[in-house]
A and B are shown apart, each in its own frame.
Chain A
Amino acid sequence: MKIAVCIKQVPTREWQPRLNDQKTWVREQDASYEMNEPDAYALEESLRLREQHGGEVVVCSAGPARVQQVIREALARGADRALHVEDDALGAADAFTAAAALEPAMREEQFDLILTGLQSDDQGHAQFGPVLAEKLGVPHSTIIMEVQIDEAAGSLKVKRELEGGWFQYVTMPSPALLTIQSGINQLRYATLKGIMAAKKKEIRKVAPPAGLASRLTVTALYVPQKAKQTVMIGGSPAEAAAELVRRLREEARVL
């Protein structure tokens, strides 16, 4: 099986975003980066499927040179090789642009299965997977919590998460694209051996197709205004604890 896993590099969750001078985007130069969390689960799932069915796992990522960090990490965790669509000029492109950037190179590879995360931790458009599937002409299913492959039948059966604790099984022919939900498996981390081996693995750089332009433009980025009057309780931990308990007893009457 030839499995693609699409991985996005995002600012770490701890990072406090700071705005650029135009207040239209964040100061990317200040950010530290990590692998988008659902993508780590998608990577783990692809490695498990390779263990069961053989084949190879190819990491696909679009973005500026800095995304090599997460590509290396994915290779260290066990992916076989990588495809990097690199362009420093595209900036904060939308999900359509990212999918369009990756589509030609991914089409050429003729993957049997493509896994993506269900949404990114930074922009969070939750669009890239279904858009890429549509562009490639393959069926898709989203928010997946289990993947079973029937190689003989050329099909797969997946467990879709629905709202409020409901699930549903869906069967479809391969090749197909699935967007993976966090928690589908337990993650493994890179070993020293994996990190050493990753250094020798191939990262193929590809230029994006010409003429890509984002249709979504951020005209302003800002800190949301607080609507609710939250009573913020200060002081030392002991003082704050005493004041909170007093208010919960006397004001809110919930204790």
Chain B
Amino acid sequence: MILVIAEQRNDKLNRASWEAVVAAQQLAGEGIPVKVAVLGQGVSTAASELAQAEVAEVITVEHEALASYTSDAFVQAAAGLVTATAPAHVVFAHTYQTRDFAPALAARLDRALVTDVIGLKVAEGRPLFARPMFQGKLLADVALGGPAPHLVTVQIGAFRADTVQKGPAPAPVTSATATIDPGTVRQTPEAPFQEAKQAVDLSQAERIVAVGRGIKTQENIAVAQQLADAFGAELAASRPICDNGWLPMERQIGSSGQTVAPKLYVAVGISGAIQHLVGMKGSRTIVAINKDADAPIFEVADYGIAGDLFDVAPALIAELKK
């Protein structure tokens, strides 16, 4: 059996959970059942939504200590469930929440965990998990050792939610009891919040020029601004540019910044890390300018120029001004 641990907040299912179900269905192949667990307090809507999938069972694990997420409570509840159900694999979407508790869960169970998986293969009867290494410049096929269950987290966007196999009738929803000693939950969370409302809403921009670490210095940001002006575009950035304080945080594109889908997205000196790609890969036309012809950004680009941005940007500005 393969167990998926889905994610919800306020009974609203995290869409990435579907991707974890897809990965589990692929991993299971024919004949091995997939079950999905939802942890929380009051999760019936999320559970009945998940029951649409071709799975053997949806298991709700409810407890007041699971009402707001903490790693301590989730590790305890998940460890109890995994021990009771004895799956061969446990599959999660590689969300921030999974990052926070799955490694601790693996350590508690003393089982192997492979993270950020983007593909599955079988070799000599055992599954191999493909995952990026070296900032996505390489992929590694990873085999997992030690006793089952093996824990697997899948990269957001790697398995397409719309390929999920739906069942002929809703799967049964059952409930399992969680044994959590509230005295052992050490984290006290407050309600999530957003920083002060953003002054620039990049999601409305028709064209965006985004600049990355290839720009080298703060002074050179002016070059990117001129290029943006020439395109009639908003200027945006990858995370390191905002971390350095060269552009305000509100101009950051990616998983921890804004998600945009403009008509034109020009990535300048950006390598194309997954956390950046998730924020912009829905753009209609993507242009990448990077001196490294093998940079992962070219994987999502429609047009690419492999060259030095300090040569290409001035040439583009001149051309656009013609």
- A11 with B134: CB separation less than 8 A: yes
Instruction: Pick 16 A–B contacts, CB within 8 A, sort by A.
Output: A11-B134, A16-B292, A123-B133, A133-B104, A141-B100, A142-B96, A167-B193, A168-B189, A170-B190, A172-B187, A215-B145, A219-B123, A240-B315, A244-B305, A245-B316, A248-B264
Q: How far is the CB of A215 from chain B (nearest CB, A)?
A: 4
- A254 with B133: CB separation less than 8 A: no
A134 within 8 A of B: yes
- Cβ contact of A241, chosen from B145, B245, B319, cutoff 8 A: B319
- Cβ contact of A245, chosen from B142, B213, B319, cutoff 8 A: B319
- The CA-CA distance from A11 to B146 in the complex, in Å, is 29
Q: Enumerate chain B residues within 8 angstroms of A221, measured Cβ to Cβ.
A: 133, 138-141
Q: Enumerate chain B residues within 8 angstroms of A226, measured Cβ to Cβ.
A: 298-299
B188 within 8 A of A: yes
Contacts of A170-222 to chain B: CB distance below 8 A: 170-173, 176, 181-183, 186, 213-222
- The CA-CA distance from A249 to B175 in the complex, in Å, is 58
- B305 with A233: CB separation less than 8 A: yes
- B108 with A248: CB separation less than 8 A: no
Q: Enumerate chain B residues within 8 angstroms of A173, measured Cβ to Cβ.
A: 186
- A182 with B134: CB separation less than 8 A: no
A152 within 8 A of B: no
- The CA-CA distance from A234 to B255 in the complex, in Å, is 32
- List 6 tightest A-B contacts by C-beta distance, closest first: A183-B243, A134-B107, A241-B315, A139-B186, A130-B103, A215-B112
- The CA-CA distance from A134 to B70 in the complex, in Å, is 14
Could you tell me the dominant secondary structure of chain A's interface residues?
Answer: mixed
- What would 13 more interface pairs be, CB under 8 Å, given A126-B103, A183-B242? A17-B138, A121-B134, A125-B116, A142-B96, A167-B195, A168-B192, A172-B188, A217-B145, A231-B302, A232-B304, A241-B318, A244-B287, A244-B303
A122 within 8 A of B: yes
Contacts of A110-127 to chain B: CB distance below 8 A: 118, 121-127
- A219 with B193: CB separation less than 8 A: no
- B245 with A215: CB separation less than 8 A: no
One of B28-36, B44-52, B306-314 at the interface: B306-314
B157 within 8 A of A: no
- The CA-CA distance from A79 to B123 in the complex, in Å, is 47
A105 within 8 A of B: no
With A123-B133, A224-B139, A230-B304 as known contacts, state yes or no: A237 contacts B315, CB within 8 Å: yes
- The CA-CA distance from A96 to B112 in the complex, in Å, is 8
Q: Enumerate chain A residues within 8 angstroms of B198, measured Cβ to Cβ.
A: 165
Question: Chain A interface: which size bin?
Answer: 35 or more
- B103 with A127: CB separation less than 8 A: yes
Which residue of B has the minimal Cβ distance to A245? B319
Q: Enumerate chain B residues within 8 angstroms of A222, measured Cβ to Cβ.
A: 138-139
Q: How far is the CB of B158 from chain A (nearest CB, A)?
A: 12
- A216 with B142: CB separation less than 8 A: yes
Q: Enumerate chain A residues within 8 angstroms of B128, measured Cβ to Cβ.
A: 219
Q: Enumerate chain A residues within 8 angstroms of B113, measured Cβ to Cβ.
A: 96, 127
- A216 with B141: CB separation less than 8 A: no
Return the CB mask of B62-103 against A: 1 if under 8 Å, else 0.
000000001110010000000000000000000110011111
- B307 with A237: CB separation less than 8 A: yes
Q: Enumerate chain A residues within 8 angstroms of B144, measured Cβ to Cβ.
A: 215-216
- Cβ contact of B99, chosen from A142, A219, A252, cutoff 8 A: A142
Q: Enumerate chain A residues within 8 angstroms of B299, measured Cβ to Cβ.
A: 224, 226-228, 230
- B103 with A171: CB separation less than 8 A: no
- B186 with A172: CB separation less than 8 A: yes
- B190 with A168: CB separation less than 8 A: yes
- A254 with B284: CB separation less than 8 A: yes
Which residue of B has the minimal Cβ distance to A167? B193
Q: Enumerate chain A residues within 8 angstroms of B191, measured Cβ to Cβ.
A: 168
- The CA-CA distance from A163 to B100 in the complex, in Å, is 13
B172 within 8 A of A: no
With A164-B256, A168-B191 as known contacts, state yes or no: A130 contacts B315, CB within 8 Å: no
A34 within 8 A of B: no
- The CA-CA distance from A238 to B320 in the complex, in Å, is 11
- The CA-CA distance from A168 to B100 in the complex, in Å, is 13
Contacts of A57-109 to chain B: CB distance below 8 A: 95-96, 99
Q: How far is the CB of A223 from chain B (nearest CB, A)?
A: 6
- B307 with A183: CB separation less than 8 A: no
- A165 with B138: CB separation less than 8 A: no
- B107 with A96: CB separation less than 8 A: yes
- B264 with A255: CB separation less than 8 A: yes
Which residue of B has the minimal Cβ distance to A161? B256
B160 within 8 A of A: no
Q: Enumerate chain A residues within 8 angstroms of B145, measured Cβ to Cβ.
A: 213-217
Q: Enumerate chain B residues within 8 angstroms of A11, measured Cβ to Cβ.
A: 134
- The CA-CA distance from A163 to B302 in the complex, in Å, is 27
